[in-house]
Structure 1
């Protein structure tokens, strides 16, 4: 059995593909969308940060770029210690994500470039631990929109829902009007995505780009009172869709 055929059948068995049309209610479902792998590294101080940056610069980014994937990396805005780095891999499809993950385990050129990272001594680890989120782009925003500048501020918002149905309805709210409202008001979205695996499920994550905190505050001040939002938020179908919100402010890392 060919690998892609096996992947497709495995996804149906797990429910990933069966659930996809309902998870992305709103616009007609599309398979032409990104799948995101978000890695959150809890680093071993400044030395760990430097080792991770070298690994990405010399091994991961060149490898993913050849396969059409994109990489964005961010530090926490607060710059608290121990440092945490957020790294996003944007793959063009689920099969691209799967094939790339397998290739990173076997490709001789990549393994040679990554040797210093993979063979790090036990007494000098790069990180204490890392988390991985696998996320599917919304049909209403199917591709990553990269920032137009190097500086700036990113706001990452994670919305938890109390049950799967509530999460589905919140995705529909975004697809049917909320994303358009962000665009109309002058926000700069990077991505909108639903969690397929990772923490907080059922949940979704979206990311917005700002020049600075002043622009962020000014835009959000227009969002809540807008007639479009007031109309959307009063609809019964969107009631009780979000049970908890996590907000993180991030700044870009030069190597991404």
Structure 2
């Protein structure tokens, strides 16, 4: 089995819905170019698929991707949410050009070719996964990099929440991004213990326009407690009541998953 992604076709929608926002924002990184995030969703069936995929990601793909210039790679399984068993792989790229160049860089990496051979030579009777989907995202203008706290590097006790907000048109989608990126919503998150990992505008996907972000928690009880605190925060209550910023005004739905990190995940 040859592992390949038609990356150029994914870029067809990458320039659509670009968001131009203000020059101030929470923890802005002046001059930084927003990362491009590749989110791979491997759908599995119960059995040896997970072991085969883990071996490829841990031993071959992640080391080679880092050598090729990718940022820390996150690997997660769906604990609560649709379509389990599923493995999600978050790959930060410095730019769209780097995203496009990754297959060639991997092909030129001899160590990768050797370690990935069992994955590539899988037969239809023993495939390493059932199906693969790829979503491409661009980091927010003022949240340009994945954030990794000391706690996020402790694989022993943590979970992640992956949320996607859908909007009915580009203007509404840009407004929702602005609420996070320059409107103070991220700082309200931080104040209430909703620890961000990344925020991004979706460039590809089935329900554009949309945005996706990830949060980290030590456990489910803390997640529930901190979300309650956020919901009652006075600044949040004022923001969400502002005409034009209410959920009915700018969002049409929310997708949500609770994820567990793989032991070898770098996020």
Q: Classify the TM-score, shorter chain.
A: 0.7 to 0.9
- The answer for the alignment partner of 2:95 in structure 1 is 93
Preserved CA contact (<8 Å) 2:15 2:203: no
Distance 1:38 1:190, change over 3 A: same
Cα deviation 1:96-151 (Å, max 9, x = unaligned): 22221332345444233211111101111122111111000112211101214212
**Does residue 1:71 correspond to 2:73, yes or no?**
yes
Moved more, 192-201 or 70-79: 70-79
- The answer for the alignment partner of 1:250 in structure 2 is 259
- The answer for the alignment partner of 1:43 in structure 2 is 44
Give 1:158's match in structure 2, choosing from 140, 159, 164. Answer: 164
**Structure 1 regions of 5+ residues with no counterpart?**
1-10
Preserved CA contact (<8 Å) 2:192 2:226: yes
Structure 1 residue 67: deviation in Å?
A: 2.7
Preserved CA contact (<8 Å) 2:163 2:254: yes
Preserved CA contact (<8 Å) 2:81 2:256: no
**Does residue 1:84 correspond to 2:83, yes or no?**
no
- The answer for the alignment partner of 2:154 in structure 1 is 149
State TM-score, norm by structure 2: 0.83
CA distance in 1, matches of 2:232, 2:83: 37
**Does residue 1:27 correspond to 2:23, yes or no?**
yes
- The answer for the alignment partner of 2:61 in structure 1 is 60
Moved more, 180-189 or 50-59: 180-189
Distance 1:81 1:195, change over 3 A: closer
Structure 1 residue 44: deviation in Å?
A: 3.1
RMSD of the alignment, in Å?
A: 2.4
Structure 1 residue 78: deviation in Å?
A: 4.3
Distance 1:196 1:15, change over 3 A: closer
State TM-score, norm by structure 1: 0.86
CA distance in 1, matches of 2:220, 2:20: 31
Moved more, 105-114 or 124-133: 105-114
Alignment size in residue pairs: 243
CA distance in 1, matches of 2:22, 2:179: 8
Cα deviation 1:216-245 (Å, max 9, x = unaligned): 011111111211111211222324211011
Cα deviation 1:144-174 (Å, max 9, x = unaligned): 0121421211111111111121111100111
Give 2:227's match in structure 1, choosing from 220, 223, 226. Answer: 220
Distance 1:16 1:34, change over 3 A: same
CA distance in 2, matches of 1:219, 1:119: 46
Preserved CA contact (<8 Å) 2:81 2:257: no
- The answer for the alignment partner of 1:5 in structure 2 is none
Q: Which has the higher helix share?
A: 1
- The answer for the alignment partner of 1:8 in structure 2 is none
Distance 1:251 1:128, change over 3 A: same
Preserved CA contact (<8 Å) 1:71 1:90: yes
Preserved CA contact (<8 Å) 1:133 1:199: no
Cα deviation 1:190-222 (Å, max 9, x = unaligned): 111111112322111111100001110111111
Distance 1:78 1:185, change over 3 A: closer
